[in-house]
Amino acid sequence: MTNETLKGVKVAILVTDGFEQVELVRPRKALDEAGAQTRIVSPKSDRVRAWKFGEWGDQLPVDVPLDQAKPQDFDALLLPGGLVNLDALRVQPKAMAFAKAFFDADKPVAAICRGPWTITEINAARARRMTSCSSLQTDLKNAGADWVDQEVVVDRNLVTGRSPSDIPTFNREMIKVFGAARGRRHAA
């Protein structure tokens, strides 16, 4: 069943090879069903390959190559997890600048499982209440975040989720927060 909660809201999904498939596919489906326009943004120009619980998963088309992506064209940002994905993204200055622009413009961001690793890399975790997979708690604490072990945490315009099992709650809260993004696109 579709609705129009996010009609007109454009969401960038920043990934490269090795993102956790379920952490992109299920939130993207929820966003699309709520009326959002989602776009995969990647340093790769054609396709990105998912990681699916311990083995390589599906390949998805890249909608906007990172070299052509402009944060001002989007209202919100989704950061799926995946260790390989995040380790590759964090050493790419353009990817980190793209993510940082959403925080600089006070636009909504949602990150699940290991997705908050990007937030630590761009120095945007300080004074934020956040959750993540337990293996990131030390990184988040060291970056100045108040890490808590909860399904989902909403801190102003930031939604963080703990794991794939928490996706239903993560999606619900992400849609609420992203709903407030309407009209924020050109703020970056």
Contact yes or no for 35/4 (Cβ under 8 A):
yes
Pick the catalytic residue from 36, 60, 113, 124.
113
Residues contacting residue 83 through CB under 8 Å, at least 6 positions apart: 18, 51, 114
Q: Which stretches of 38-124 are DSSP H helices?
A: 83-89, 93-104, 116-121
Q: Is 133 marked active-site?
A: no
Residues in the chain: 188
What are the respective helix, strand and coil percentages of the chain, to the nearest 5? 40, 25, 35
CA 17, 186, 70 angle in degrees (round to 5)?
30
Which helix or strand (DSSP H or E) is residue 26 part of? Answer: helix 21-33
Burial class (CB in 10 A: 0-12, 13-18, 19+), 134: exposed
Active site residues: 113
